[in-house]
């Protein structure tokens, strides 16, 4: 069993970390307290104030590139760690770490490219004889709170832009998955990042609140539940910029004439990837009646063939839920839907080791939890609708607004739906969980605030400064 100590200072308070599959203790992780948080922020404040200690852009980029090469050389070990601590199937964990490698490279390139612009001064006599332009500067200290479901790549999305921007960052990893966060920051330090520019502090929630509400923080990055995130945002100090990524209940519309043979494997992957523990997982499918029966049968056949079990086994496609309580909650929601009239066509039962059988429901009533809330489990519901407008109305009938999909053979109907679905991003003929790490990614309404994606996060972590000077 591994004992993971804090680099930033010792508290000698350790928390057992258990694997979600099997429950064995895989590590003891030292926990920060409020006094250590205060000492770290004091050191980072002094570090940021001393311009002589700031790294130039090209050195930050070189560190990020070296960290990417180190991560690439240890990809298999990092992926196995993701699978063991988070329960993500090994095949998907490998893909996550590979994305993290790309994210480090992307942050290096974007950190060099980010720039201001010339401000035209030709419009009035008062402006004449001046040259004006903007530059971009790091905002200051970053506090980042991360989530368990992508324990390596999500941390890359929060830490790598901070490094590229020149902002000291303190990150609280998810309590269930701190090892991948430690591993990433260790890679950055090995690659040459000086101590205190990136600090990992696992900590209980009450201590995390003292971090994110500290007035020395300039930027707060949060990935996790809306209840926690919005609650913390209400308590941050005046002037703190925030980026918040919460959950969703992603809708996918299947129109008449959609290519079901090509579409169904994508739907199933988008719905059951990481046991549905993805904020943009396919959850609510609205199918036109002419295709609904065939869609249900094709999806059912695919779901029945999914391999559920040990995430460290190469053949596993669906792993455990992160906690037993989550598996119990998912089962309660499925039972509620069935009792209310939903048809259970596949799954619907708990399994050993915190797993839940991949589940397909049909026509769950509109007021059930699987239709109105984020399941965050391996459950999908397919509902029949009469018209495309009815599908759009049903898709929009929740407080969430994140990613969505419209699947159709008609480009005009695709664009009609895409412009009317309430979402920050709409995929056409693909599942709702598609993402690459340079695209804008974020939710509207209760689903979030601001935009993720490495270039967008880097821009948010820097501030534009206007400089005006006389010019002949």
Is 279 an annotated catalytic residue?
A: yes
Give the C-alpha separation, 87 to 17, whole Å: 13
Q: What is the pLDDT along the chain (472 residues), one digit of tens a residue?
A: 689 999 999 999 999 999 999 999 999 999 999 999 999 999 999 999 999 999 999 999 999 999 999 999 999 999 999 999 999 999 999 999 999 999 999 999 999 999 999 999 999 999 999 999 999 999 999 999 999 999 999 999 999 999 999 999 999 999 999 999 999 999 999 999 999 999 999 999 999 999 999 999 999 999 999 889 999 999 999 999 999 999 899 999 999 999 999 999 999 999 999 999 999 999 999 999 999 999 999 999 999 999 999 999 999 999 999 999 999 999 999 999 999 999 999 999 999 999 999 999 999 999 999 999 999 999 999 999 999 999 999 999 999 999 999 999 999 999 999 999 999 999 999 999 999 999 999 999 999 899 899 999 999 999 999 999 999 8
pTM higher than 0.85, yes or no?
Answer: yes
Choose, from 245, 326, 346, 460, the residue flagged as catalytic. Answer: 245
DSSP 320: -
Tokens of 428: 């056409």
Q: How far apart are CA 358 and CA 282, in angstroms?
A: 13
Residue with token string 């809330």: 373
In angstroms and rounded to an integer, the radius of gyration of the C-alpha atoms of the chain is 23
Domains of the chain: 2-246+447-470 (3.40.605.10), 250-440 (3.40.309.10)
d(CA 463, CA 212): 20
The whole-angstrom separation of Cα 70 and Cα 47 is 26
Q: Which of 181, 279, 355, 407 is catalytic?
A: 279
Length of the chain, please?
472
DSSP states of 30-60: E---HHHHHHHHHHHHHHHH-GGGPPPHHHH
Query: Which bin fits 238, alpha (ψ -120 to 50), beta or left (φ > 0)?
Result: beta
Helix axes 90-113, 75-86, angle to 10 degrees: 120
Tell me if residue 245 is catalytic.
yes
With 0-12 / 13-18 / 19 or more C-beta atoms within 10 angstroms meaning exposed / middle / buried, residue 128 is: exposed
Residue 334 CB burial class (10 angstroms; 0-12, 13-18, ≥19)? buried
CA distance 428 to 269: 16
Helices 57-73 + 75-86 axis angle, to 10: 80
């Amino acid at each position: 069993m591994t004992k993971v100590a804090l680099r930033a200072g010792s508290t000698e308070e350790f928390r057992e970390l258990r694997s979600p599959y099997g429950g064995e203790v895989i590590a003891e992780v030292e926990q920060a307290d409020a006094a250590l948080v205060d000492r770290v922020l004091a050191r980072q404040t002094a570090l940021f104030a001393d311009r002589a200690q700031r790294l130039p852009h090209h050195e930050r980029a070189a560190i990020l590139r070296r960290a990417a090469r180190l991560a690439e050389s240890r990809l298999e070990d990092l992926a196995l760690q993701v699978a063991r601590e988070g329960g993500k199937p090994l095949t998907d964990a490998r893909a996550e770490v590979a994305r993290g490698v790309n994210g480090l490279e992307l942050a290096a390139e974007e950190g060099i490219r980010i720039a201001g612009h010339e401000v035209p001064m030709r419009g009035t006599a008062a402006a004449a004889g001046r040259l004006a332009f903007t530059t971009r500067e790091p905002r200051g200290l970053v506090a980042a709170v991360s989530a368990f479901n992508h324990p390596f790549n999500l941390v890359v999305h929060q830490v790598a832009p901070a490094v590229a921007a020149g902002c000291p960052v303190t990150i609280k990893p998810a309590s269930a998955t701190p090892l991948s966060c430690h591993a990433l920051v260790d890679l950055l330090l090995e690659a040459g990042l000086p101590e205190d520019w990136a600090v990992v502090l696992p900590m209980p929630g009450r201590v995390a609140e003292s971090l994110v509400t500290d007035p020395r923080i300039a930027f707060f990055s949060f990935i996790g539940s809306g209840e926690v995130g919005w609650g913390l945002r209400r308590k941050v100090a005046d002037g703190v910029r925030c980026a918040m990524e919460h959950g969703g209940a992603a809708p996918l519309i299947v129109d008449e004439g959609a290519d079901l043979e090509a579409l169904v494997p994508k739907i199933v992957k988008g719905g059951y990837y990481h046991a549905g523990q993805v904020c943009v997982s396919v959850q609510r499918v609205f199918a036109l009646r002419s295709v609904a029966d065939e869609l249900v049968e094709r999806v059912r056949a695919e779901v029945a063939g999914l391999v559920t079990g040990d995430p460290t086994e190469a053949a596993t496609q669906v792993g455990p839920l992160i906690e037993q309580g989550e598996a119990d909650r998912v089962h309660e929601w499925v039972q509620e839907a069935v009792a209310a009239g939903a048809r259970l066509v596949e799954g619907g039962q708990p399994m050993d080791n915190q797993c839940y059988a991949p589940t397909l429901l049909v026509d769950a009533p509109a007021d059930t939890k699987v239709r109105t809330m984020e399941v965050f489990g391996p459950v999908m519901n397919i509902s029949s609708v009469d018209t495309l407008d009815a599908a759009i109305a049903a898709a929009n009938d929740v407080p969430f607004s994140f990613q969505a999909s419209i699947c159709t053979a008609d480009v005009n109907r695709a664009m009609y739906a895409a412009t009317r679905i309430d979402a920050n991003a709409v995929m056409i003929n693909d599942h709702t969980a598609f993402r690459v790490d340079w695209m804008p990614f974020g939710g509207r309404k209760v689903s979030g605030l601001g935009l993720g994606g490495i270039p967008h996060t880097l821009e948010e972590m820097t501030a534009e400064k206007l400089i005006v000077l006389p010019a002949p």
